[in-house]
Every structure is written in structure tokens, then in C-alpha cells.
């Protein structure tokens, strides 16, 4: 993931530690009572979410996201040799959650990935990276997550 590699490189060069935060919005189960990979933004093994109870499924999803963030942090720590901590939190407002996390942990710089949503999606839903930059009280670096299309 380009954003993780970039952030890890910055930490390695400048010192300090890195936090990997995955914000999970309250989940809404589809009519079948399951979540798809597109709903949650990452792959969950089959059978991870079995509950049709939205609150229970939300707790399971948050636990799975937290475990994934911790595993990713551990993989990066082993590969790059920097202090890194993974965490998932659930929040209605991603921007507020990220900035509150940064304040709680005295984060000096925010590095975020931009997934390049379609223009229509950006217009209708907004761009989280842009919202994070506008509300930031600390420096923000945005790293493209997907290769740019050159014409």
C-alpha cells in the first residue's frame, strides 16, 4: 500500500512512531443480513460475520477491523523496523474521529490515502481526504492509493 510505505519511510527517516487507524462507520446490514467486501472496505474471511443483529455484527466488524489493523502494523514493524501501532475505532464522523485520535495520541503529522473515487461519488458523498485536510490542525500529506491514469 503506497500510503503505508510512504508513512513508514517518513517515520524511519525522522524518528518517532506511527499509528495505523482504521475508522469503521456504523454498519448497515444488507437485506440478506451479510456484509460484502465493498461494504466494509476490506476482505473478511467467509463466515466472519454471521449475525443478523446489526449491533452484534457491528461489534464483530469492529473487532475484525481492529485485528486487521494490528496485523498490518505488526507486518510493517517487522519489515521496516519502526514502532507502529494499529487500531480500529467506530465513529459516525470519520473526520472528527481521526482528528480526536490525533489529539489523544499527540500526532504531529497525518498521512492519508486518497482512493480516487469517481467524480459523481465525490460530488454526492464528498471526499474524506479533502475533509480531513480542511479540518486539520496538523500538517497533512495525501498519498494516492491507486496509480494515476496518464493520457
Residue 91 has pLDDT above 80, yes or no: yes
Helix (H, G, I), strand (E, B) or coil at 114: strand
What's the confidence (pLDDT) of residue 31?
38
Number of domains in the chain: 1
pLDDT score for 96: 93
User: Does the pLDDT of residue 147 top 80, yes or no?
Assistant: no
Task: Tell me whether residue 28 is in a domain.
Answer: yes
Is the dihedral angle over the CA atoms 80, 84, 90, 94 positive or is it negative? negative
C-alpha cell at 106: 499527540
Model confidence at 84: pLDDT above 90: yes
**What DSSP character marks residue 27?**
P
Residue 136 lies in a domain: yes
Q: For residue 35, what is the domain's CATH number?
A: 3.40.50.620
In a domain, 151, yes or no: no
The domain containing residue 86 runs over which residues? 2-144
Q: Is residue 94 part of a domain?
A: yes
Select the highest-mean-pLDDT range: 20-34, 51-65, 97-111. Answer: 97-111
What pLDDT, on a 0 to 100 scale, did the predictor assign at position 63?
87
* Between 99 and 134, the higher pLDDT residue: 99
Q: Is residue 98 part of a domain?
A: yes
In-domain check, residue 150: no
Q: How many CB atoms lie within 10 A of CB 58?
A: 20
Task: Say what the pLDDT of residue 120 is.
Answer: 57
The answer to whether residue 138 sits within a structural domain is yes
Amino acid at each position: 500500500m503506497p500510503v503505508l510505505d510512504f508513512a513508514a519511510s517518513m517515520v524511519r527517516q525522522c524518528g518517532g512512531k506511527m499509528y495505523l487507524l482504521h475508522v469503521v462507520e456504523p454498519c448497515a446490514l444488507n437485506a440478506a443480513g451479510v456484509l460484502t467486501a465493498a461494504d466494509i472496505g476490506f476482505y473478511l474471511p467467509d463466515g466472519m460475520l454471521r449475525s443478523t443483529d446489526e449491533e452484534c455484527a457491528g461489534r464483530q466488524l469492529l473487532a475484525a477491523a481492529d485485528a486487521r489493523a494490528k496485523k498490518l502494523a505488526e507486518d510493517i514493524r517487522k519489515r521496516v523496523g519502526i514502532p507502529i501501532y494499529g487500531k480500529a475505532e467506530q465513529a459516525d464522523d470519520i473526520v472528527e474521529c481521526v482528528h480526536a485520535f490525533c489529539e489523544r495520541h499527540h500526532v504531529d503529522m497525518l498521512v492519508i490515502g486518497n482512493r480516487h473515487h469517481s467524480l459523481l461519488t465525490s460530488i454526492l458523498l464528498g471526499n474524506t481526504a479533502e475533509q480531513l485536510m480542511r479540518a486539520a490542525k496538523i500538517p497533512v500529506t495525501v498519498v494516492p492509493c491507486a496509480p494515476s491514469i496518464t493520457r
